[in-house]
Structure 1
């Protein structure tokens, strides 16, 4: 859906709960947008029945390779010794990369300047050392890491990614409680009949066991995952609280 997924979510919320219209949900649609825009025509909790997560994308912390910073610990020490000196790029105020950065600097107890750019320009800024570091989705930075234009320090998940097993998590690297990943999951419109919901769920579980499906998700930079409807609902609740805190810390104006 356009407008940050809002349109797709509104259409899915208003569709017949017959199992033919599902929503591919994500952090933006389900967690961030509803806490920034108050006038939405969908309720992220009340209008949907969560089926399952199916992919998680690691966010990766990257720095400009000319800096003598080879770990999260070194970056935190440097930032503490030089308050306000480092620029942390993000893809725009209220975007996930902005809120992931705000949470990181809060939990690490460091003072840096959060600099908003338009989308991918944030990576160009770090490669040009106009900003020194950022947290960005794995698929968008892997090519730059391989080419040596960016140096990867850690991933934002609660465990290492099979795609980058050499990178520690930010938690492992010394910032307890930090978590920031991209994710995708399937939701049905609320009011769907239980037998239809159950059939969709068992079909999804089968699809997620298919090696070709898993390979397709990995090719796009994701880790294939699955969860029960209850686990997915709990996960969304945790994400909502985590990003709610980041939105408050960032002093974002609710529209």
Structure 2
């Protein structure tokens, strides 16, 4: 190689090295500079429900960890699709997140013939927050003191009982459909816009029972509601004497749902990793674990990949009952 060509090669290699160093520094700066403004968390269900309670419980310590305000915004409706779409359409910069039950990702695609967005493609999993169990609760006036008597009464009075849910196709609704299918009973479904209004009508005696995602446990303790069973594979540490529906004879009954945080597709991986790391640190604290247990669930720190895999498994499980019961969005 002649001297001129060697000189050109050296200059080219030096320029490439400087460019690479500059890009690496820019990437490190971008990562270290996040966040530099408030982070908005959209909860796709009304205030007072499990998703809202989790978002607010985790939001404060997450704000402290990030050094920026974490602002909670409720955008309920359409089984979580309204809030989900708002986040899917938001800039993919890490400043807009979604807190949702697993239902919007794992259930809604089976319910709606058309959705305005694709949760699997337009959102990315950031961090799971909690595995939330559902609890079979009935109004005190119902003539049943345990789950076996409840099932017998419901079967003897087809169509007489009504049950509420946070919405058509929500995980509490599907839990009731699983029970109806396995126990061969019929009851009338009354969908609400969230778990909190369904709970209020159960307390008022307007409906007879529902599967509660944990927000009504205080009323079970006080005797205002009858807690008959847990719709989870294992008993709740809060109520060790309350049987699971599996123990009551509905084999393999599992209506658990995983709640967590999502971001718009295209959010930088470094930002997703930072958020996952900080949220998992929050979940490791006793204060948050106690809050989640009080809600009737358990903290579930996972990597983004593990969270996504869990959502895919839940999709298969819930999709099966949706097809069997021919459930569709209303």
Q: State whether structure 2 residue 116 is matched by structure 1 residue 41.
A: yes
Mapping 1:214-233, distance limit 5 Å: 214-233=289-308
Aligned equivalent of 2:270: 195
Matches within 5 A, 1:30-179: 30-80=105-155, 82=156, 84=158, 87-91=161-165, 93-108=168-183, 110-116=184-190, 118=192, 132-139=208-215, 141-179=216-254
Take 1:73 and 1:198, find their aligned partners in 2: how far apart are those partners?
47
- Are the counterparts in 2 of residues 89 and 123 from structure 1 also a CA contact under 8 Å? no
Residue 245 in structure 1 maps to residue 320 in structure 2: yes
**Compared with structure 1, are the counterparts of its residues 113 and 49 closer, same or farther at alpha carbon in structure 2 (3 Å cutoff)?**
same
Q: CA deviation at 1:144?
A: 2.8
CA contact (8 A) 2:127 2:275 kept: no
Query: For structure 1, which runs of at least 5 residues remain unmatched after alignment?
Result: none
Residue aligning to 1:21: 96
TM-score (normalizing by structure 1): 0.81
1:2 aligned partner: 76
- 1:104–1:231 Cα change, 3 Å: farther
Equivalent residues of 1:35, 1:254 under 8 A apart: no
Equivalent residue pairs, number: 252
| Partner in structure 1 of residue 63 of structure 2 | none
The one of the two structures with greater contact order (alpha-carbon pairs below 8 A, sep at least 6) is: 1
Runs of 4+ in structure 1 over 6 Å off: none
Quote the offset at 1:223 in angstroms: 2.6
- When normalised by structure 2's length, the TM-score is 0.65
Shift of 1:238: 2.4
Identify the residue that residue 59 of structure 2 maps to in structure 1: none
What is the aligned partner in structure 2 of residue 211 from structure 1? Answer: 286
Which structure features the higher share of helix residues?
Answer: 2
Q: CA deviation at 1:180?
A: 1.5
